[in-house]
Amino acid sequence: MSEIVEITQVSGTAVSIRGNDIDTDRIIPARYLKEVTFARMGEYPFFDERFDSTGNLKPHPFNDPQYKGASILFVNKNFGCGSSREHAPQALYRYGINAIVGESFAAIFAGNCTMMGVPTVTVSHDHVELMMKTVEQNPKTQFTVDIEKKTVTFGEQRIVIDLPETYRSALISGSWDSTALLRANLAQVKKTASQLPYMNGFAG
């Protein structure tokens, strides 16, 4: 199994993607899901918003050299809605994003991020706006997302963040990659299964 990595804090510069209901088809167009591994996903986030049909750059925060190297992403409401494709968080993670701060996240997307060790944390609209404005005014601003203390700090600011307690616990204990945790209980799994009548075809 992979080694246990406790995710307590993500620090770095940030980049903002404004707008509600940004779906996973926009985060990564379906044609890139044809690849057999996630290895190249980091080349594709927001592909059709960043490149025109001939491959020329369009104005987009991910194309803007000011935000190069950003490891924290600021978003608005219901980010990552739509498809369950893990390719979407994989694309963001492999591009360099290690934490996402937003007003809210779609359920499957947030679950996928957590299982990859990428925290998705929520703050109010006003606080997202404040952080987006801060990074737009000074892209070099350093932010720290602290999962343990449930804060985002930058400059003199300290903003309280929220995330499901179960996600927080998984991240800070290093059990976000849940396979080992689940496999430890295989005997109990078999017992639970044996009590479900459909598992033996409703034999009397």
Q: Which residues bind another protein (CB under 8 A)?
A: 1, 19-21, 23, 25-26, 29-31, 33-38, 48, 53, 77-78, 81-86, 89, 104, 106-108, 111-112, 115-116, 164-166, 169-170, 173, 175, 177-179, 181-183, 185-186, 188-189, 192-193, 195-199, 201-204
Distance CA 10, CA 99 (A): 7
Of 67 and 79, the one with the shorter C-beta distance to another protein is: 79
Instruction: Name the minimum Å distance from CB 138 to another protein.
Output: 24
Are 170 and 118 in contact, with CB atoms under 8 Å apart? no
Instruction: Name the minimum Å distance from CB 158 to another protein.
Output: 26
Contacts of 116 (CB under 8 A, 6+ apart): 86, 89, 90, 93, 176
Of 68 and 133, the one with the shorter C-beta distance to another protein is: 133
Of 3 and 156, the one with the shorter C-beta distance to another protein is: 3
Cα angle for residues 27, 114, 70 (degrees, 5° grid): 55
Q: What are phi and psi of 150, to 5 degrees?
A: 55, 55
Q: Which residue has the tokens 């057999």?
A: 36
Of 61 and 111, the one with the shorter C-beta distance to another protein is: 111
